[in-house]
Amino acid sequence: MSASRGILMPGRWHAHSMRTLVAHTTFGSGRRTISLKSLFTPSPPSDMVHGSSGKKQRILVKPNDLFHPLSKSPVKEMREKGALIQQHGCCTTCVKETTAAGKPATREPKFECPDCGYPTHCSEPHWKQDTTHKEELCGHLREANEDEHDLRSGRTLREFEFPSAQLPEIVVNLSSWDSYLYTRSFTNINSNRAMRHVSKVLTYPVTIGSVLHQYSPFVLSNGLTPEGLKSMTALRTTIKEHDLARSEKELAMQQMPLRVFVLGARAEAMLPPHLYLQLAYLLPNSPVHVYFVGPECIPAADEARSTIVVSSRLVLKYHKSYFHDAIWNFAPFDPYTDVFFMFSPGIGHPRARPGWQPTVEKLLETKCAVFATGFHERDMQADVRALREDFSDKMDWLLEPRENPFASLKRDFGIRNLREWAISNWGIYGFRGKRYEVQRQE
């Protein structure tokens, strides 16, 4: 199932960087007011600053000096990343040439671009010849260079101090990242770089929440089909019952949890469990059980348990197996309480397609809503095309393929080829097994 990610490796490569990010992060739990004091307070003159705990922290990279060539970076992980690209990457100019045997040339990229700091070409002449790199890629690579150094700089990452539960009288706006962060009182996000950092980790829980929420951006006028409206009405009926159960004891005794299945889970299963509280805050009265299912599904590094109770209304469960093999652990299924998500599954990738087919077969049998994402338009369209070719007579479309307003704002680049990039959850689409038997008549 993971062949498509094996090429770009956004999930695997950034698993370490994600753990590093969390190690330098302090999460808040209370509601905060906006303070402008930090904007005008000068930084300490030395490379030691006081962290939120009162202890001194060593600053590896200063905020006004984030750009460094990877080979000369003060951060060990960045130097190792540069060496990895030099070892496994290729010069994009050489690829356009051919060897005497008629095969593409693959010289190692030993020359670091002075503008983005990444090893991109085998030599300076080849770097100068590559106008495509300068026009289309260099700026994004420099942005990634500075973002990665910022995450590992040693500073206190205050943008990761997230708000707690929303007050009942305040409505969340889910039309975009800006409106969501504003109405949810993320007061510490004051730059585009901070937005990229936060969206990288929140894209998973917020994408789930944006689909299920009563004020979802996905409506009939924005991609939702009539069949999709039926499925979402069923799920939101259950969510409404959870809201009513607050004041009615009989309903409270009968309520069933909302089950969210994340299939082929990888990086999304390695997020710190409390990040999924942002999903629970979007559905404040609903008990939510999130099931991470997949052969690469493992919880966060410091968790060895298969079940993590994050709060009284949020439980995370991990099943390291294929869904079609473990389906009887979860049956029976109910379209009113169960929904499936697949984050960049790569269904259309030639090596992954056979592995996904038995899973999709079982998914269609459940008659529950299924939502999937892609990391760019070409990836999403390949998955959609594979579904249409293999299951067109067995499925209904719930959400037409389109850009996801809660995609990550950060680009991830492939180690083997820097021109291959991915944006987590760039696009989204939805489908479901047909509710009615269809017989063709000649």
Tokens of 181: 């962060």
- Report the candidate in 266, 282, 323 with the shortest Cα–Cα distance to residue 18: 266
- Nearest by Cα to 15 from 27, 1, 2, 28: 2
Separation CA 40–CA 112 (nearest Å): 36
DSSP 135-195: IIIHHHHHHHHHHHHHHTS-S--GGG----SPPTTSPPP-SSHHHHHHHTT-TT--SHHHH
* Tokens, residue 219: 């409506």
Instruction: Indicate the pairing of strand 338-342 with strand 369-374.
Output: parallel
Predicted local distance difference test score (pLDDT) of residue 400: 96
Q: pLDDT by residue for the chain (442 residues), tens digit each?
A: 444 443 343 443 344 444 344 333 333 444 433 333 333 334 444 455 555 445 556 778 888 889 999 999 999 999 999 999 999 988 888 877 765 556 666 778 999 999 999 999 999 999 998 888 988 999 999 999 999 999 998 888 899 999 999 888 889 999 999 999 999 999 889 899 999 999 999 999 999 999 999 999 999 999 999 999 999 999 999 999 898 887 776 665 677 899 999 999 998 998 999 999 999 999 999 999 999 999 888 765 545 568 899 998 999 999 988 999 989 989 899 999 999 999 999 999 999 999 999 999 999 999 999 999 999 999 999 999 999 999 989 999 999 999 999 999 999 998 888 888 999 999 999 999 987 655 555 5
Residue 98: its pLDDT value, please? Answer: 63
pLDDT score, position 10: 41
Task: Give the single-character DSSP code of 197.
Answer: H
Phi, psi (deg, nearest 5) at residue 371: -125, 135
Q: Cis ω on the peptide bond leading into residue 332 (within 30° of 0)?
A: yes
Instruction: State the Rg of the chain over Cα.
Output: 23
User: How many Cβ atoms from other residues are within 10 Å of residue 31's Cβ?
Assistant: 12
Q: How many residues does the chain have?
A: 442
Q: Which residue do the tokens 């990895």 mark?
A: 84
Q: Has this prediction a pTM greater than 0.75? A: yes
Q: What angle do CA 230, 165, 35 make, to 5 degrees?
A: 130
pLDDT value, residue 315? 95
Q: How far from the centroid of its chain's Cα atoms is residue 341's Cα?
A: 12
For position 330, what pLDDT does the model report? Answer: 93
Looking at 300-426, which runs of residues are DSSP E strands?
307-311, 314-319, 338-342, 369-374, 395-403, 412-413, 421-422
Given the structure tokens 């101090």, which residue do they identify? 161
What sign results for the dihedral spanned by CA atoms 215, 218, 373, 353?
Answer: positive
Give how far Cα 291 sits from Cα of 275, 342, 429, Å.
15, 12, 20
Amino acid sitting at position 76: K
